[in-house]
Structure 1
């Protein structure tokens, strides 16, 4: 603005000087004023030019500073965008891992529920078996005949009384009579071992109640020990009796080595 004003004043001074020359010289005072005005206008133009030369570098410096600031802000913005993208990527990865963990936890929870169900079922079955075993009668016996040595031969059948009782769970065997009495209906496993020492027959009858259901015999041709063992599974009613008889003319041998034995146990009730 000041530069334009100075330029206008300079033009006016030049025009005034030209008019004075064309009018044949306007006087000494006009010349002096015109000269002073011209000098003043030149000083103003010089000052304005100096001010412009001083102000221009400041403007460019500010523009450069603004440009640098914009560049820095753009760089910072890009860095922020990169960090945001990185954070979003990490967030996506974290979300994916969380979803994967949730799926795995869901599968494990399902497996755990299934395992708990099977365990509960197994515990229930075990409890039932324990209850059944607790309620199931326990029957087992194991006996040996005598320590006196030779038994027989006799002229009649003789009921053998196995006097050495090693096991008698359920007290189903009576050593005073030689009878085993079934306490419950079921299938029983019965076994006996016979040892003969004398020359001749060694054998036994196995009786169920009053009926012989098995006869086992060996003929000993030489004086010496002869062994045989037999066993069977019998379905017995509660109260049925099992005992062993020595046939007439037969003999057996037993001592503290327990050569002749009689045993049995309940396989399962019915």
Structure 2
């Protein structure tokens, strides 16, 4: 009994040592398995990271192309051209007359706005129903002309050359031909006054291009002065020609001047462009 006890103790020690060895081996094997899983995950993450880097680079290139890769990057906008900054030139002539046209003006002042300002301005333009700045110029046109001397004998279909020009804003009236040429499409007021001395009469016509617009028939055969005047609102296209001429049957009649008193006159004004 006393001899077998040490042997039993020895076997128990061996068994315990063997169990500890198996436990340690299992733990080490489990650790290696976990390391393999972690390595595989790391490898997968690295692959995904490469893909994301490529995609990020592609997005940045597109943003730079659009000019909005950096929200702090300044963007240039044109400042609207003021009407007082537009210089008018007399370069375009229509049927012998000179018309004022604003030249194409280069951009003079450029403001820089950051991306946030740009977005605010864009939203504001959408709320106003327009996505860009609109630059408008107003054409000015008005003329008044009369006779400096009488026409003693009118010819057939003779255009009346009102040579005494008091106003010719925009140079739309040609005194050499007696023609008004519309510089733009718009609504115009065209006026004429036809005057005759006592015991005289005549008829004049107001024409637009080849179209009769109105007749004037002052009659002084009762021994008195007589006149007739009309003011007509006309929609004219750009380049339309308006003038006064002798009505058939009035050839040889006289058109008095009376020292430039504007008894006989022709005038027009542009109310607004259309």
Q: Point out the structure with max Rg over C-alpha.
A: 1
TM-score in terms of structure 2 length: 0.47
Greater fraction helix: 1
